A and B are shown apart, each in its own frame.
Chain A
Protein backbone atom coordinates (compact mmCIF):
# COMPACT_ATOMS: atom_id res chain seq x y z
CA UNK A 1 0.00 0.00 0.00
CA UNK A 2 1.62 3.26 -1.17
CA UNK A 3 -0.80 5.51 0.70
CA UNK A 4 -2.44 6.62 -2.56
CA UNK A 5 -5.70 4.74 -2.98
CA UNK A 6 -7.46 4.19 -6.31
CA UNK A 7 -10.85 2.69 -6.92
CA UNK A 8 -11.95 0.56 -8.58
CA UNK A 9 -8.94 -1.64 -9.32
CA UNK A 10 -10.55 -3.02 -12.46
CA UNK A 11 -13.42 -1.80 -14.60
CA UNK A 12 -14.96 -3.49 -17.61
CA UNK A 13 -17.46 -1.40 -19.51
CA UNK A 14 -19.28 -1.45 -22.79
CA UNK A 15 -18.37 1.03 -25.48
CA UNK A 16 -20.39 4.19 -25.12
CA UNK A 17 -20.86 3.95 -21.37
CA UNK A 18 -19.52 6.49 -18.87
CA UNK A 19 -17.03 5.53 -16.19
CA UNK A 20 -15.64 7.34 -13.16
CA UNK A 21 -12.47 6.58 -11.23
CA UNK A 22 -11.48 7.86 -7.83
CA UNK A 23 -8.11 8.70 -6.29
CA UNK A 24 -7.53 9.36 -2.58
CA UNK A 25 -4.07 10.90 -2.18
CA UNK A 26 -1.69 11.03 0.74
CA UNK A 27 -3.25 13.79 2.85
CA UNK A 28 -0.23 16.08 3.03
CA UNK A 29 0.52 15.91 -0.72
CA UNK A 30 -1.09 18.92 -2.39
CA UNK A 31 -0.17 17.98 -5.96
CA UNK A 32 -2.17 15.28 -7.72
CA UNK A 33 -1.63 13.94 -11.22
CA UNK A 34 -3.53 11.59 -13.52
CA UNK A 35 -1.68 9.45 -16.04
CA UNK A 36 -2.70 6.84 -18.57
CA UNK A 37 -0.51 3.87 -19.44
CA UNK A 38 -0.99 1.37 -22.24
CA UNK A 39 0.88 -1.90 -22.66
CA UNK A 40 4.55 -1.41 -23.54
CA UNK A 41 4.44 2.34 -23.05
CA UNK A 42 5.42 4.69 -20.28
CA UNK A 43 2.81 6.67 -18.37
CA UNK A 44 1.32 9.57 -20.35
CA UNK A 45 0.33 12.74 -18.51
CA UNK A 46 -3.38 13.63 -18.53
CA UNK A 47 -3.95 16.37 -15.97
CA UNK A 48 -2.62 17.94 -12.78
CA UNK A 49 -4.12 19.57 -9.70
CA UNK A 50 -2.51 21.71 -7.07
CA UNK A 51 -4.96 21.60 -4.20
CA UNK A 52 -8.38 22.08 -5.86
CA UNK A 53 -7.10 23.97 -8.90
CA UNK A 54 -6.68 22.07 -12.16
CA UNK A 55 -3.53 23.74 -13.48
CA UNK A 56 -2.70 21.79 -16.61
CA UNK A 57 -4.37 19.42 -19.05
CA UNK A 58 -2.72 17.39 -21.77
CA UNK A 59 -4.00 17.52 -25.32
CA UNK A 60 -4.63 13.79 -24.77
CA UNK A 61 -7.49 14.83 -22.51
CA UNK A 62 -10.30 15.07 -25.04
CA UNK A 63 -13.69 16.63 -24.32
CA UNK A 64 -14.88 13.22 -23.18
CA UNK A 65 -12.54 13.34 -20.21
CA UNK A 66 -13.10 15.46 -17.14
CA UNK A 67 -11.36 15.56 -13.80
CA UNK A 68 -12.21 17.20 -10.52
CA UNK A 69 -10.64 17.62 -7.13
CA UNK A 70 -13.21 19.21 -4.86
CA UNK A 71 -11.80 20.82 -1.74
CA UNK A 72 -8.32 19.68 -2.69
CA UNK A 73 -8.82 16.20 -1.29
CA UNK A 74 -9.81 13.18 -3.39
CA UNK A 75 -9.99 13.42 -7.17
CA UNK A 76 -12.23 11.85 -9.79
CA UNK A 77 -11.59 11.18 -13.46
CA UNK A 78 -14.64 10.64 -15.64
CA UNK A 79 -14.65 9.32 -19.18
CA UNK A 80 -17.86 9.82 -21.12
CA UNK A 81 -18.91 7.71 -24.10
CA UNK A 82 -16.01 5.33 -23.71
CA UNK A 83 -14.21 4.01 -26.78
CA UNK A 84 -12.07 0.90 -27.17
CA UNK A 85 -9.01 3.12 -27.41
CA UNK A 86 -9.64 4.24 -23.83
CA UNK A 87 -8.65 0.80 -22.58
CA UNK A 88 -5.59 1.38 -20.42
CA UNK A 89 -4.29 1.60 -16.87
CA UNK A 90 -5.24 4.91 -15.29
CA UNK A 91 -2.75 5.99 -12.66
CA UNK A 92 -3.00 8.62 -9.97
CA UNK A 93 0.18 10.05 -8.51
CA UNK A 94 0.89 12.59 -5.80
CA UNK A 95 3.83 14.77 -4.77
CA UNK A 96 4.66 16.63 -1.57
CA UNK A 97 6.52 19.23 -3.63
CA UNK A 98 7.62 19.86 -7.17
CA UNK A 99 11.14 18.44 -6.92
CA UNK A 100 10.14 15.05 -5.57
CA UNK A 101 9.39 11.80 -7.35
CA UNK A 102 5.85 10.53 -7.60
CA UNK A 103 4.03 8.18 -5.29
CA UNK A 104 1.66 6.27 -7.55
CA UNK A 105 -1.57 4.60 -6.59
CA UNK A 106 -2.22 1.02 -7.60
CA UNK A 107 -4.09 2.15 -10.70
CA UNK A 108 -7.43 1.39 -12.28
CA UNK A 109 -7.36 -0.95 -15.26
CA UNK A 110 -10.11 -0.07 -17.71
CA UNK A 111 -11.25 -2.47 -20.39
CA UNK A 112 -13.77 -1.20 -22.94
CA UNK A 113 -15.53 -4.01 -24.82
Chain B
Protein backbone atom coordinates (compact mmCIF):
# COMPACT_ATOMS: atom_id res chain seq x y z
CA UNK B 1 0.00 0.00 0.00
CA UNK B 2 1.66 3.19 -1.20
CA UNK B 3 1.25 6.01 1.28
CA UNK B 4 1.73 9.74 1.02
CA UNK B 5 1.60 11.56 4.33
CA UNK B 6 0.92 15.23 4.95
CA UNK B 7 0.12 17.10 8.11
CA UNK B 8 -3.47 18.24 7.66
CA UNK B 9 -2.80 21.52 9.49
CA UNK B 10 -3.95 24.18 9.42
CA UNK B 11 -0.60 25.85 9.03
CA UNK B 12 -0.99 29.52 9.87
CA UNK B 13 1.63 32.06 8.78
CA UNK B 14 1.66 35.87 8.67
CA UNK B 15 1.63 37.68 5.37
CA UNK B 16 5.14 38.01 3.96
CA UNK B 17 6.52 34.99 5.80
CA UNK B 18 7.81 31.73 4.33
CA UNK B 19 5.35 28.85 4.45
CA UNK B 20 6.90 25.38 4.55
CA UNK B 21 4.78 22.39 3.60
CA UNK B 22 6.06 18.85 3.95
CA UNK B 23 5.21 15.47 2.48
CA UNK B 24 6.65 12.01 3.08
CA UNK B 25 6.08 8.92 0.95
CA UNK B 26 6.51 5.21 1.42
CA UNK B 27 7.40 3.92 -2.07
CA UNK B 28 11.16 4.10 -2.64
CA UNK B 29 10.60 3.57 -6.37
CA UNK B 30 8.77 6.89 -6.71
CA UNK B 31 10.12 9.10 -9.46
CA UNK B 32 7.74 11.99 -10.04
CA UNK B 33 6.45 14.41 -7.43
CA UNK B 34 3.81 17.08 -7.75
CA UNK B 35 2.30 19.85 -5.67
CA UNK B 36 -1.27 20.98 -6.31
CA UNK B 37 -3.12 23.91 -4.82
CA UNK B 38 -6.83 23.53 -4.09
CA UNK B 39 -9.04 26.41 -3.05
CA UNK B 40 -12.14 25.57 -1.05
CA UNK B 41 -14.84 24.14 -3.30
CA UNK B 42 -12.58 24.13 -6.35
CA UNK B 43 -10.57 21.45 -8.14
CA UNK B 44 -6.80 20.99 -7.70
CA UNK B 45 -4.42 23.08 -9.78
CA UNK B 46 -0.86 21.94 -10.56
CA UNK B 47 1.74 24.40 -9.27
CA UNK B 48 5.03 22.47 -9.21
CA UNK B 49 6.55 19.22 -10.39
CA UNK B 50 9.96 17.84 -9.43
CA UNK B 51 11.79 14.73 -10.54
CA UNK B 52 15.40 15.05 -9.30
CA UNK B 53 16.94 15.49 -5.88
CA UNK B 54 17.50 19.08 -4.89
CA UNK B 55 15.57 22.29 -5.28
CA UNK B 56 13.39 23.59 -8.08
CA UNK B 57 12.28 27.20 -8.04
CA UNK B 58 9.36 28.83 -9.83
CA UNK B 59 8.60 32.37 -8.78
CA UNK B 60 7.73 32.41 -5.09
CA UNK B 61 7.53 28.61 -4.98
CA UNK B 62 10.42 26.22 -4.32
CA UNK B 63 10.02 22.46 -4.33
CA UNK B 64 12.64 20.40 -2.52
CA UNK B 65 13.13 16.67 -3.03
CA UNK B 66 15.19 14.25 -0.95
CA UNK B 67 14.72 10.71 -2.25
CA UNK B 68 17.05 9.15 0.32
CA UNK B 69 14.87 10.48 3.14
CA UNK B 70 11.66 10.05 1.10
CA UNK B 71 10.33 13.52 1.55
CA UNK B 72 9.33 16.39 -0.67
CA UNK B 73 8.57 19.89 0.50
CA UNK B 74 7.12 23.09 -0.87
CA UNK B 75 8.28 26.52 0.26
CA UNK B 76 6.20 29.59 -0.45
CA UNK B 77 8.12 32.82 -0.02
CA UNK B 78 6.48 36.16 0.69
CA UNK B 79 3.19 34.41 1.50
CA UNK B 80 0.04 36.27 0.51
CA UNK B 81 -3.53 35.88 1.78
CA UNK B 82 -4.37 34.60 -1.73
CA UNK B 83 -2.08 31.62 -1.04
CA UNK B 84 -4.56 30.41 1.60
CA UNK B 85 -5.65 27.02 0.28
CA UNK B 86 -5.08 23.30 0.71
CA UNK B 87 -1.83 22.01 -0.80
CA UNK B 88 -1.86 18.45 -2.07
CA UNK B 89 1.26 16.37 -2.56
CA UNK B 90 1.12 13.64 -5.23
CA UNK B 91 3.71 10.94 -5.88
CA UNK B 92 4.10 8.66 -8.90
CA UNK B 93 6.10 5.45 -9.00
CA UNK B 94 8.45 4.79 -11.87
CA UNK B 95 6.80 1.72 -13.33
CA UNK B 96 3.35 0.33 -13.81
CA UNK B 97 0.47 2.55 -14.71
CA UNK B 98 1.93 5.82 -13.41
CA UNK B 99 -1.13 6.50 -11.29
CA UNK B 100 -0.10 9.04 -8.64
CA UNK B 101 -1.03 8.67 -5.01
CA UNK B 102 -2.26 11.84 -3.33
CA UNK B 103 -1.81 12.92 0.26
CA UNK B 104 -4.77 14.33 2.15
CA UNK B 105 -3.40 17.85 1.85
CA UNK B 106 -2.22 20.57 4.20
CA UNK B 107 -4.43 23.57 4.84
CA UNK B 108 -2.49 26.84 4.72
CA UNK B 109 -3.84 30.07 6.17
CA UNK B 110 -1.97 33.29 5.48
CA UNK B 111 -3.23 36.05 7.75
CA UNK B 112 -2.72 39.76 7.08
Query: Chain A: residues with CB nearer than 8 A to chain B?
Result: 2, 33, 40-45, 48, 55-56, 89, 91, 98-107
Tell me the minimal C-beta distance from A7 to chain B in angstroms. 14
Find out whether the CB atom of B32 lies under 8 angstroms from the CB atom of A99.
yes
**What residue in chain A is nearest B89 (Cβ atoms)?**
A42
Tell me the minimal C-beta distance from A31 to chain B in angstroms. 9
Find out whether the CB atom of B102 lies under 8 angstroms from the CB atom of A42.
yes
Q: Which residues of A contact B104 (CB under 8 A)?
A: 40-42
Find out whether the CB atom of B97 lies under 8 angstroms from the CB atom of A106.
no
A4 to B44, CA, bound (A): 12
Q: Which residues of B contact A89 (CB under 8 A)?
A: 43
Residues of B in contact with A, size category:
20 to 34
**A interface SS class:** loop
CB-CB under 8 A for A42 and B98, given A91-B43, A106-B42: no
Find out whether the CB atom of B43 lies under 8 angstroms from the CB atom of A98.
no
Find out whether the CB atom of A102 lies under 8 angstroms from the CB atom of B44.
yes
Report if B8 contacts A (CB, 8 A).
yes
Find out whether the CB atom of B46 lies under 8 angstroms from the CB atom of A103.
yes
Find out whether the CB atom of A43 lies under 8 angstroms from the CB atom of B98.
no
Find out whether the CB atom of B102 lies under 8 angstroms from the CB atom of A43.
yes
Find out whether the CB atom of B97 lies under 8 angstroms from the CB atom of A55.
yes
Tell me the minimal C-beta distance from A67 to chain B in angstroms. 15
Tell me the minimal C-beta distance from A96 to chain B in angstroms. 12
A103 to B46, CA, bound (A): 7
Q: Which residues of A contact B100 (CB under 8 A)?
A: 102
Find out whether the CB atom of A40 lies under 8 angstroms from the CB atom of B49.
no
Find out whether the CB atom of A43 lies under 8 angstroms from the CB atom of B32.
no
Which 6 A-B residue pairs are closest in the complex by CB-CB distance? A42-B102, A101-B46, A104-B43, A98-B98, A101-B34, A107-B43
Tell me the minimal C-beta distance from A100 to chain B in angstroms. 8
A98 to B97, CA, bound (A): 9
